[in-house]
Structure 1
Amino acid sequence: MNKKTILLTGATGFLGSHLLEALIKEEYTVVVLKRSSSNNWRIKNLEGRYISYDIDLYPIEKAFQDQKVDCVIHTACNYGRNGESIWQVVDSNLMFGLRILDFCLKFDVNTFINTDTLLQKHINVYSLSKKQFVEWLEKKSDKIKVVNLRLEHMYGPNDDTTKFVPWIISQFQQGVEEIKLTEGEQERDFIYIDDVVSAYLTVLNKDSKLQMFNEFDVGSGQLNTVKSFLEELKDRYQTNFGKIETKLAFGSIPYREGEMMKVEVNIKKLLNLGWSPMINLEQGITNIIKQEK
């Protein structure tokens, strides 16, 4: 049986690049939307194995005209961490997604797999814009099958250094005297990137068994405090690189306004589809430390 043609957004990012590699390995035909200015370092080893369209040089519609797209996997997003305006974050997280959705409807794409967050919508502009897009997806799910994956805190190799875990590691590498942190009692579900990717592949493979609108929480099923995670990270870093003097200064800064102290993650629906996480916290942290080494 012929494999599906997948249109992937955000392929040069952390999640997207890991997904691209996995989809190619599974022999899907992958169509990538990116900008000509995108930094392709994460997917350079995959050149020639996917179809690419630079959306600043060609209309997005051309990708749908040239290829019979069966499914869109939408991972592109803007976290708003680099001083972007509200408009820029909303344009990336809401308006760009709506443009893709419009073409899905026009060209009879069967399934839209969306990347959402478990953060509540009131936390920041990023979470609000992501939740607004999900509302549009649900509204249009009478015309296209929607799978909304709500991700918890994913981590792994090749992540952006502005993200929490790689930023902490960069501070260790630079030998900073201390890292100012909250008390670290927030409970989070840290999930390794390979397990996140396998969740996407699972819903893709089980597409025919899904309803028109589906939501799945994606996590390991285990909650850990931020403090315990960082202490484990520091211990394993020192095991591989020798003792470091950097102090984890817990309690030196206040929690942000509206901080979620405990995230609610229910992975039962994914487990029922046949998916299960394979990388525990200790192994995941070991993997990223080994990459640094």
Structure 2
Amino acid sequence: MLLLLPPSETKVQGGTGRSLLLRQLSFPELTAVRSRVLNAVVELSRDPEAAIRALKLGPKGHGEVAINRAVRRSATLPAIDRYTGVLYDALDARSLSPEARRFAEDHVVIQSALFGPVGALDPVPGYRLSHSSRLPGLRLTPTWAEAAGPVLERVDGLIVDLRSEGYAELGPVRASDRVAYIRVVAVDDEGRRRALNHFNKKTKGLFTRAVLESGQDFGDIEELAAWAAGAGFSLGPGSAAGEWDLVVPEVALPPTGSTTGARTSSPIG
């Protein structure tokens, strides 16, 4: 089983590991493509004004340009500890048991716009790049889709895709009976379903944490759904082929317009 997660634009800075070594990342067959994207990011960072426009940085984000310029020599952290934001706050990877972190090492992949799919414990530096960023002479979506999609499809077993649409396009996996794309929806008293934003991310983080702590390598989506029911989650077939709905009851949500439990962070989709 493989859990595919999106990254976050917000990240922990600094680190405790040595500087980046591309060949140490999971899926080493992607090293050449990673190098191309990395070179384009570093080259862009040499022109701060162009980088600010390409990365869509506001005044408080201008320092991200210097972070990208130093990305090759910066200290690293395990990928699952690098990202912050709503999903990763709910996942709270640093407080996982040692057994759950070892399980994550084998069963979690994060879809980075800079490095492509990386393992949960792969050492990565801080950086700023999203799936919609524009790099000179390089188009991120087709570049990663062509390289990363086939690599992910070669992974054996169930693929549980928790990525947002933009990041799923960086590493598309064709629909099949072993691929489940997870949507988070709310259901009202009349059975009507609606997609969520903030609680989409939070629910995905909580769900991922529960799977990791369970330590179970599920063979198919039906087996995962049966476990989910006992773990306090409702997971069932969605409206489209290959989609599964992770349901949040409307009664569990704050009133419309409430900011309870929300936090300010860059969107991860």
TM-score, normalised by the number of residues in structure 1: 0.29
Q: Which has the larger radius of gyration?
A: 1
The structure with higher relative contact order (CA 8 Å, sep 6+) is: 2
TM-score (norm 2): 0.30
